[in-house]
Chains A and B, each alone.
Chain A
Amino acid sequence: MLVLTRKQGQLINIGEDIKIKIVEIGQNFVRIGIDAPREMPVYREELYEKLKQLNTEASKLDIDKLKDFLEIKNK
């Protein structure tokens, strides 16, 4: 992994289209601003990983589990 040292307010460019700005440095956090094309979704890693896991779970849903729910809804 490439590791760069930056000061508050400084930027990093990734290619032409992606800019990463160190917005604020606190005691145990940094605030980062990201400009990226919309086709590159930017999410906090834990949220994205959670969504991947939930989507995988959802893909395994057996329609039989919804039998009662659908019966009630279609009464």
Chain B
Amino acid sequence: MIRYVLKRVAELVPVLWAVITIAFFLARLAPGGPFDAERKAPPEALRQIEAYYRLDQPLWKQYALYLWGAARGDLGPSFRKPGRSVTEWILLRLPVSLELGLYALAVALALGLAGGLAAALRPNTTLDRVLNVGALLGICLPSFLLGPLLVLVFSLWLGWFPVAGWSTPAHKVLPSLTLGALYAAYLARLTRGSMLEILGQDFIRAARARGVSSARVALVHALPGTMVPVSAFLGPAMAGLFTGSFVVETIFFIPGLGREFVEAAFNRDYTMVIGAVMVYAVLVALLNLAADLVTAWLDPRIRLE
């Protein structure tokens, strides 16, 4: 088990190297540079800036210098935002995105699991159909529509929650709902399907024959099995929640890493882009590892090698 974890973590190194390399060269391949502007700076100023950021050196050398820096934990200065390093930006902004992701995950789990279980325990009833429609809506409504819709109703009409921002707990409700809705919907569908499948299996029938109560059958006998596909889904879902928050961060004016990343990509802030991509790669890898571990723990048929 520990050897397996260590092996997976060790595998992260070549993955990171590949990610950095691809991000580095893709960023450079994109037309335009960090210092292009509508109001063009004089050529001598541009030359000085490029020299400062070593953009005047051959690409392979820049790449080597970047790798050497990254290996020592130095992700360089932000090109577009002088005065702060990329590491500082990431440390400032990542926690916000993680917090948002966690709340959204809580929303997804609470709504998704509850909805899915309720639907599975009363299949083909009105409740099931209502939940089904709700889940479909959750999947179909993109967050750039759902977010403003929630704001319109709960902030501007009812005045319950702030329109945007990220300071008090109240600020965090609507963004978490918006971000979590899609995953809640998927989770509800997944839980329902998985639960129904398990409820039809022999060991459930045997338990019922022994006179075990309905609640106990559902929660003690069926639920752990239901969780296997759910936990397998949660790894990528969490990665999606942590890394896919750009739209929600923009709509709700949340100072997270998603906004920073997209802005950096638009601005060709090379070091910032690579730094963010790296963080996302690590997150995805670690979350997938966590999901694998949990799945193996839940499902005795899986052995970690």
The finding on whether chains A and B are genuine partners in a shared complex, rather than unrelated, reads no
Q: Which residues of B contact A (CB under 8 A)?
A: none
Q: Which residues of A contact B (CB under 8 A)?
A: none
